[in-house]
Amino acid sequence: MIKILPIVLLLPFLSLNAKTINADVNITHITPIKENAIWTRKKQVTPMYPIELAHSGIAGCGIFKVLVNEQGKTDSVELITSIPKKSIFKPSKKVIKKWKWVQAANTVAKAEEKTIRLDYCIEGKNLEEVQSNCKKQAKLSCSA
């Protein structure tokens, strides 16, 4: 019983110090546009904000060259440009490598190079405000 007491006393303290982080990721398909793509993402949902970026409070953007092979697998992810320069690539590569691709209707399966922009947004009082800010950020330049 004595060992449980310190844990019970810590729980209220931990919950008082818990901080909700509102974050969003915006995806922009630069080339090819979605309508002309051979491969599209299987699940068209917003990817999770990378934990390592959220914990550090890092917001920014990255533009990536993604090669999808003729079997619909991501062969490579290359950083073209990003803000901030060093923090975005590794977590973004993890996110992009997990994407599953499906062949678009009326297309021939072949390798396709894509240029994709990911915007990571973390400022706002609530999720709606963050999403609104992220759409604005996606219209700005992503190079220093």
Cα dist. 69→73, 97, 99 in Å? 5, 12, 13
CATH code of residue 58: 3.30.2420.10
Could you tell me if residue 12 is inside a domain? no
Number of structural domains in the chain: 1
Could you tell me if residue 66 is inside a domain? yes
Could you tell me if residue 9 is inside a domain? no
Which residues form the domain of 67?
21-137
- Give the position of tokens 């209220």: 12
> What does the pLDDT look like over 56-83, one tens digit per residue?
888 899 999 999 999 999 999 999 999 9
Could you tell me if residue 144 is inside a domain? no
> What does the pLDDT look like over 47-57, one tens digit per residue?
788 888 888 88
Q: Pull the structure tokens for residue 101.
A: 């691709």
- Model pTM score: 0.80
Distance CA 107, CA 132 (A): 34
